[in-house]
Amino acid sequence: MKKGLVIIGAGIIGVMTALNLVEKGYRDIVIVEKKYPGSGGSFRCATGIRASFTSLEHVELMKRSIQLWPLLSEKYNIPYARHGYVWLFTREEDLEMFRCIVDFHNKNGVPTRIVSPEEIAELVPTIKTDQLVGGVYDPLAGKASCFKALLNPLAYILRKGVKLVESTTVYKVLIESGRARGVLTDKGVIEADKVLVAAGYGSKKILRESIGVDLGLRNIPKHALITEGYQGVFKPLLIDWETSSYIVQVLHGGFLIGSSLPEEPDKPPRSRLKYPVKAVNVWIRYFPWLAYTNIMRYWTGYYVMTPDHHPLIGPLSTVENLYIATGFSGHGFMMSPAVGEVMANYILGEKPNVPLVEHLLPDRIIKGRLVKEIAVFG
Ligand SMILES: Cc1cc2nc3c(=O)[nH]c(=O)nc-3n(C[C@H](O)[C@H](O)[C@H](O)COP(=O)(O)OP(=O)(O)OC[C@H]3O[C@@H](n4cnc5c(N)ncnc54)[C@H](O)[C@@H]3O)c2cc1C
């Protein structure tokens, strides 16, 4: 088989890139997926979407994504709601630091604001606020169904002629005379003019095998659980900054909780009894009623981290026609609409329509041009 473009990985990033290409009339695409679409990070995510970051690159990328989410929702029937985020602070020094961050947001078009414990109680029915010194409200933030966001556009592009090859592992990108010419898989070679590595946790290994470096990628195991579903209790996603934990009532009603445990990079993620204990203990301080809800499911997955917590997006300068979109450091779902758009720009030889993403080219890691972000949690 010879194609125009091979996309490695049928996660949200590979699918959104293919969708943008199809919408621009480019359909000569095969997506090669090791297991099944969504089986990596994309179906394990907490569905959160926000622009309240601390780097201009992230803010600009997310402002564009937040413009696109309602359009995608309408066109591809993806449940999406702009329900906001509330960042919760128990320590004065954290609230002080976030005053500067809110200032930075407001100067750059993100309308966050500091809120008092009383306002938090209005935004978040049933919350106990006695240990809070304040919070930050991000009204642009929201959530969407991670299942429909991937499966509905995928069904559309398959109808338009994109090919999907499942249960097939890519070992490496084939490179000849400094140019990508296809991929080697466990089922043979697929030749192509261009290759996009969008393989989430698998990208590190593929890059090492193909170009000899892994660009500083680290797969960090993460944990999440979900309770039985209830009718709407509170709308915003909440972040407990002190414990790096979050809770969100997802659109189908369950309370999804994420909280970080110390983990070694690149180890297979495994369930740990410690996890539900920690997650529940963080959130029953705020919602004592949570102690009486049943946990339905507990799962693990990876955050694919880069040294500066920003994704690697764009072409690789050392290999012609090889593109990378990975290392989303826990934010790939929310960014996928804008990333799909800029990756389609790059693949078609256009300028990215979010110009600041040029600071996020994969080569920056080798050149030591890192970009700073501190608002990472979970
Ligand atoms: C617990 C948890 C909560 C999260 N919450 C959020 C959130 O609220 N908001 C947010 O924006 N992000 C969140 N994330 C991060 C988000 O899920 C990821 O950033 C996003 O899904 C990355 O998408 P992707 O397409 O790059 O990778 P993936 O979804 O992992 O897709 C990559 C695909 O490549 C395939 N693959 C791997 N290796 C190979 C190979 N060798 N050959 C062929 N195929 C291969 C995989 O099977 C996979 O299907 C969360 C992640 C976790 C684990």
Residue range(s) defining the domain that contains residue 355: 2-46+147-217+307-367
Residues 29 and 120 in one domain: no
Please give the number of the atom of ligand 1 that sits closest to the Cα of 332.
19
For residue 163, the one-letter residue type is K
- CB of 315 closer than 6 A to ligand 1? no
Rounded CA separation 246/231 (Å): 19
Last residue of a domain, one of 252, 272, 302: 302
- CB of 334 closer than 6 A to ligand 1? yes
- CB of 337 closer than 6 A to ligand 1? no
- CB of 12 closer than 6 A to ligand 1? yes
- CB of 330 closer than 6 A to ligand 1? yes
- CB of 222 closer than 6 A to ligand 1? yes
Number of domains present in the structure of the chain: 2
To 5 degrees, how large is the angle CA 7–CA 208–CA 336? Answer: 35
Tell whether 103 is covered by a domain: yes
The answer to which of 52-66, 285-299, 360-374 has the lowest mean pLDDT is 360-374
Tell whether 21 is covered by a domain: yes
3-state secondary structure of 234: coil
User: CATH number of the domain that 199 lies in?
Assistant: 3.50.50.60
- CB of 18 closer than 6 A to ligand 1? no
Distance 99 CA to ligand 1 centre (A): 32
Ligand 1, atom 46: closest residue by C-alpha: 40
State pLDDT tens for residues 136-163. 999 999 999 999 999 999 999 999 999 9
Residues 239 and 357 in one domain: no
Distance 331 CA to ligand 1 centre (A): 9
Residues 226 and 296 in one domain: yes
Residues 361 and 317 in one domain: yes
Mutual angle of helices 56-76 and 332-347, in 10-degree steps: 90
Residue 1, pLDDT score: 76
Ligand 1, atom 4: closest residue by C-alpha: 45
CB neighbour list of residue 175: distance below 8 Å, 6 or more residues apart: 181, 210, 211, 319, 322
Tell whether 76 is covered by a domain: no
Rounded CA separation 364/356 (Å): 13
- CB of 78 closer than 6 A to ligand 1? no
Tell whether 261 is covered by a domain: yes
State pLDDT tens for residues 7-56. 999 999 999 999 999 999 999 999 999 999 999 999 999 999 999 999 99
| Tokens 């991000």 sit on residue | 138
User: CATH number of the domain that 267 lies in?
Assistant: 3.30.9.10
Distance, CA of 137 to chain centre: 21
Q: Is the pLDDT at 226 greater than 80, yes or no?
A: yes
Please give the number of the atom of ligand 1 that sits closest to the Cα of 203.
38
Last residue of a domain, one of 271, 302, 333: 302
Residues 161 and 134 in one domain: no
State pLDDT tens for residues 247-278. 999 999 999 999 989 999 999 999 999 999 99
Last residue of a domain, one of 260, 287, 302: 302
Residues 235 and 128 in one domain: yes
